[in-house]
Structure 1
Amino acid sequence: MKIDRMSGDPLLRSAYPYRRLAVIGAGAYGTALAHVAAQDGTQVSLWSRRAEIAETINRTARNPRYLGEIDLAPSITASDDLMAALRDADAVLLVVPSHAIRSTARAMRPVIPAGIPIVVCAKGIEAETGLLMSQIVEDELPGHSVGALSGPTFATELAAGHPSAATLAFSFDQADRLDPENSAAARMAVTLATPAFRTYLSDDLVGVEIGGAVKNVIAIACGMMRGAGFAENTRAALITRGLDEMKALAEALGGRRETVTGLSGIGDLTLTCSSTTSRNMSLGVQMGQGLDRAACFDGKPIIVEGEANATSVTDLARKLSVPMPICETVRGILKDGQPIAETFARFWSEPIESEPRAMSLTFAHPTSLSTAPAFDKRPL
C-alpha cells in the first residue's frame, strides 16, 4: 500500500474506466448492468438474441421483457448482431445463463476485438467438465483476461439504484501487481462504479465463483424448508452449514476460505436464501408446499440455475471427496425424486460433528429416519 509521506494516510490510486463496453445478454441482470455502466456516459452496446427486444430498447429506452419500469440510460445502444455489439468494445460483460456460456463464447470468437478483458456474470459449474464459468471462457477465448462479477445483487434493485455491492475477481499477474491502476480489475471496477453501486476487488477467481454456484443450491434447500412450514431457525442453520460447504469446495479447488465470507459468498448466500425474488428460493418454496417440479411457476419453463448446479456441484465435490450434505440433499430431491420430508430428515440425523475442523470429532446421532414425519407436518 502506498502511503502519503505528509499525512501518513493511504494514497488513493486512480484508474481509468473503459469508455466502450459490450454487455452480452439482455436479460434482467444484463440490462441492469448495462444501465449501471452507462450512467456516467460510458457507451454501452447491449446484445440481445431477440431482434424485437433490441429494437424496442433503442426506440423506447426500456426493455419490454425485463425491468420494463426502468428508463434506461441514453448511452445504451441495443443490437441483435453480435459483431456490431462487440466491434468497438474495450471490455465485455458476459451476462447469459450458465448453460449458454460456452456456446456464446464460441460465437464471440471470430468477432471479439483481440485481447480485451471479459467479465463473466453467470454462476455455475459446467456439468460435463466440472469447469467454472471463467474457465469455460478461457477455454473458448484464449488470449483474453477473464474475470468474474458476483455478489448480492438482485437485478431490479440494482437497476433502481438501491445501494448495492459485489466482488469483481481477476487473476493478478506480476504486471497487474506492479501497475494495479491499469489492471483489468481496477479499470472495470471504476467503469461500473456509481453513487449506489461499488465493487470490491479480489484475485481469488475460484473462491468467488464457487460461492456463486453453491449458493443457488443452498437457496433451494432453504426454500423447501420454508415451503414446508419451517421458520428462521431452520433457514439460519442451512445458511451457516451451507457456507461451510462453500468453503470446503473452494479450498479443495485452490480458493481461499476467507473469500467465501465476503460478498460473493455469504453476502450472495444470505440474499438468495431470504427472498422469493430469487428463482432458486422460489422453486424450493413451491416444492416444499407440495407442488411437483413441472407445476412450479404455473407450469412455465423458468430456468433455475440451482437446479442444474445441484448436480454439477455435487458431481465435482464427489470427485474431490468433499462432503456437501445439504447440496446432496437437494440433488436427491431434484434429480433422484426422493421425498422432501424423508430426505431432509436424513440430513438432520447425520452423525454429530464438531464445528471447528481442528476438533475432528464425530458421534452417531441417536435418531433415524423414524423422525421423517417431523419434516412433513408443516408446523407454521
Structure 2
Amino acid sequence: MTKVAVLGAGSWGTALAAVLASNGHDCTLWSRRTEQAEEIAEKHTNEQYLPGAVLPDTLKADHNLARAVSGASIIVMAVPTKGIRKVCRDLNSVLEGPVLFAHVSKGIEPDTHKRISEVMEEELDREICQGIVVLSGPSHAEEVIRNQPTTVTVAAKNTEHARRVQDLFMNQSFRVYTNDDVVGVEIGGALKNIIALAAGVTDGLGYGDNAKAALITRGLAEITRLGVAMGANPLTFSGLSGLGDLIVTCTSVHSRNWRAGNMLGKGKSLDEVLDSMGMVVEGVRTTKAAHQLSKECGVPMPITEALYAVLFEGQKPIDRVELLMGRMKKNETEDLAGWS
C-alpha cells in the first residue's frame, strides 16, 4: 500500500483518487474548498463534478494542504494549469521530504510556453522533488469513475519513475502503458484541446462527419508538426496521448472543450460560454499559447490560427471556416516529410 495525495478535486482528480483508493492505496484528495472536502469525506460524493457517482469509502479528503500531503510518497497534481505554480510554491513550505510527482493536467503556459512538467521543475525545490511523471491519454472522468475500460500512458525521463506510477494506477479497468517521450505526451495532451474546441465549433455550425474527420486528421498534423519542432518523437502522436486523446475529446459530449466549442459555433460569445461552463476549459488558454509557439517556431498551424481569431479577435466561426477551405492547394504528404 502506497500513501498518495491527489491535489485538485475536480472531475479528473476525483476519478483518479477513486482509482487509487480502489486499488488499496492510502489516498487523500485535497480540495481548496472546505465544504467540498467534507462532502467527499463524509458523503463519498462529489456532486458538482461527478453527479451520481459514489466514491470509495476508504478515500479521504482534506482542505488543508499540509495535512493532505503529510507522509505521502507520491503526489498527483490534478489542478488546472493556471494554478500549478501557486500550488508548487505552497508545497515547498509544507513538504518535509522528497516525493515523486505525477501530473495529469493538460496545457501549455501562455507567454512562457512552458509545458507543465517544466513549470513544476521551475517552481518545486529540488529537495522535495524526486522526479516528475506525466499521465495522459483518452480518459473521460465520467467513464473512469464507473470503471469502464480506460487506457492511458505515463511518461518520464526516468523509467523506474514511470513504472512506479504505472503500478500505482494499473487495474483491470484502468490499463497504463509507459513512454519515455515526455515532450510528446505533454504536447499531445495539451494541443488536442484546441482541436476539440474546433470540432465543437463545426458541430455547432451544423457541419457533418466529413468536416469532423478532416478536422481531426489535419489537427493531428498540426499537433505533430509543432511537437516534432519541440523535440518530440513523431510516433508518440499516433499513440494514446496523441491520436487516442484527440479522438475521444473531439467526439464526446463529456468533453468540456467540445461543449464550449459547440456553444461558440451556435453563436455564443467566449464570455458567455465560460460563464455557463462552470469548469475550466483548458483549450482556450492553450490556444493562445500554441498560437504564440507556432509563430516562434515557424510552424504553420492554420486550425489553431483560425480558432485564435474566433476566441480572441472576435471573428465569426463561419468566416474562418471559409478561409480554411479556400487556402492554396497543397500536397498532403508534404506535412509528413519532416517527421522522420
Calculate the TM-score normalised by the size of structure 2. 0.94
d(CA) in 1 for partners of 2:330 and 2:272?
38
| Residues 1:167 and 2:153 aligned together | yes
d(CA) in 2 for partners of 1:347 and 1:61?
48
d(CA) in 2 for partners of 1:123 and 1:39?
24
Q: Secondary structure at the match of 2:251?
A: coil
Residue number among 274, 289, 292 corresponding to 2:266 in the alignment? 289
Aligned residue in 1 for 2:141: 155
Q: Verify the 8 A CA contact 1:227 1:285 in the aligned structure 2.
A: yes
Aligned residue in 1 for 2:49: 66
Q: Verify the 8 A CA contact 1:57 1:64 in the aligned structure 2.
A: no
- CA gap of 1:297–1:125, structure 2 versus 1, over 3 A, is closer
Give the Å deviation of 1:255: 0.7
* Residue correspondences, number: 334
Q: Verify the 8 A CA contact 1:25 1:48 in the aligned structure 2.
A: yes
d(CA) in 1 for partners of 2:279 and 2:69?
28
Q: Secondary structure at the match of 2:76?
A: strand
Q: Verify the 8 A CA contact 1:86 1:113 in the aligned structure 2.
A: no
Q: Verify the 8 A CA contact 2:200 2:262 in the aligned structure 1.
A: yes
| CA deviation map 1:121-148 (0-9, x unaligned) | 1111101211001100011114320111
Which structure 2 segments of 5+ residues have no match? none
Q: Verify the 8 A CA contact 2:274 2:281 in the aligned structure 1.
A: no
| Residues 1:41 and 2:24 aligned together | yes
Q: Secondary structure at the match of 2:99?
A: coil
Aligned residue in 2 for 1:257: 234
Residue number among 124, 130, 133 corresponding to 2:107 in the alignment? 124
d(CA) in 1 for partners of 2:52 and 2:137?
23
Structure 1 outlier segments of 4+, above 6 Å: none
Residue number among 17, 40, 63 corresponding to 1:80 in the alignment? 63
Q: Verify the 8 A CA contact 1:89 1:113 in the aligned structure 2.
A: no
Calculate the TM-score normalised by the size of structure 1. 0.85
- The RMSD of aligned alpha carbons is 1.6
Q: Verify the 8 A CA contact 1:28 1:67 in the aligned structure 2.
A: yes
- Listed as ranges, the matches of 1:298-377 within 5 Å are 299=276, 302-357=279-334
Q: Secondary structure at the match of 1:246?
A: helix
d(CA) in 1 for partners of 2:56 and 2:273?
35
d(CA) in 2 for partners of 1:52 and 1:298?
22
Q: Verify the 8 A CA contact 2:260 2:277 in the aligned structure 1.
A: no
- CA gap of 1:159–1:358, structure 2 versus 1, over 3 A, is closer
Give the Å deviation of 1:291: 2.0
Aligned residue in 2 for 1:96: 79
- CA gap of 1:359–1:294, structure 2 versus 1, over 3 A, is closer
| CA deviation map 1:212-259 (0-9, x unaligned) | 111111111111111111100100000001001111111111111100
d(CA) in 1 for partners of 2:336 and 2:92?
50
Which structure 1 segments of 5+ residues have no match? 1-17, 177-182, 361-380
Moved more, 186-195 or 28-37: 186-195
- CA gap of 1:113–1:322, structure 2 versus 1, over 3 A, is farther
Q: Verify the 8 A CA contact 2:10 2:49 in the aligned structure 1.
A: yes
d(CA) in 1 for partners of 2:72 and 2:278?
33
* 1:186 maps to amino acid: R
- Listed as ranges, the matches of 1:103-118 within 5 Å are 103-118=86-101
Aligned residue in 2 for 1:217: 194
Give the Å deviation of 1:300: 5.4
d(CA) in 2 for partners of 1:334 and 1:313?
13
Q: Verify the 8 A CA contact 2:195 2:304 in the aligned structure 1.
A: yes
d(CA) in 2 for partners of 1:68 and 1:43?
24
Give the Å deviation of 1:354: 1.5
Give the Å deviation of 1:358: 7.6
| CA deviation map 1:312-352 (0-9, x unaligned) | 11101211111111011100110111111111111111122
d(CA) in 2 for partners of 1:285 and 1:358?
28
